[in-house]
Amino acid sequence: MKLIFLGPPGAGKGTQAARIEAAYDIPQLSTGDMLRAAVAAGTEIGKQAKDIMARGDLVPDDVVVGIISERIEAADCANGFILDGFPRNLSQARALDGVLVEKGIDLDAVIELAVDPEILIARILKRAQESAQDSAQGPRDDDTEEALHHRLRVYEEQTAPVADFYAEKGILRTLDGMQEMDEVTQQIRSALEVI
């Protein structure tokens, strides 16, 4: 199974990707983890990323796509992979598409978790409040209502069009991400069973 998980911040992509990773024995690939691994391994792309990250700059799309290109050739990706939250924009989607065509890899599905933004914000703020009480560190800086609204706007402007890109290819599966966690997992597994 070669999958992409899309959805706004806080929709549960990471949680669901981890569950599908375990069920299908395929790795969940996070761009942040891949960047750090490439830097640690000292690959050519990793060296480029290290310099950029050291300056505090965002890693450009071509470097991120290059790291993904290297990573999906690893032995643990032989049976598939889950790209969690990538691509984040149409440019990345098109670049990834080119890499996959070049490698002869077809995506099986793009799973989009659809959520109600206002309910999502309330859910994240509640979770932030609970974690702040349980943690000596306090809430995360980006778990404020203002930051969440901004993150959702960025998602709508930059990432939501990626869903249309994959819908045109006929591989987008939009699921109700507002259900309970187990129900969302079941929706995903049902969608994957018919592929």
pLDDT digits (tens, 9 = 90+) for 104-156: 999 999 999 999 988 888 888 887 787 777 766 655 566 678 888 888 888 89
Active site residue 153: no
Active site residue 151: yes
> How many whole angstroms separate alpha carbon 92 and alpha carbon 61?
6
> How many whole angstroms separate alpha carbon 38 and alpha carbon 152?
29
Q: Is residue 62 part of a domain?
A: yes
Q: Is residue 66 part of a domain?
A: yes
Q: Is residue 53 part of a domain?
A: yes
Q: Is residue 174 part of a domain?
A: yes
**What's the CATH number where 98 sits?**
3.40.50.300
Domain range for 180 is 2-116+160-193
Q: Is residue 145 part of a domain?
A: no
Domain count, the chain: 1
Q: Is residue 139 part of a domain?
A: no
> Pick the catalytic residue: 127, 153, 169, 189?
127
Q: Is residue 141 part of a domain?
A: no
> How many whole angstroms separate alpha carbon 107 and alpha carbon 101?
10
Q: Is residue 129 part of a domain?
A: no
Q: What is the pLDDT of residues 45-64, one digit of tens each?
A: 888 888 887 787 778 888 88
The pTM of the whole model exceeds 0.75: yes
Torsion from C-alpha of 83, 118, 162, 26, nearest 10 degrees: 10
Around 65, how many Cα atoms within 13 Å sit in the side-chain half-sphere?
18
% of residues, the chain, pLDDT over 70: 95
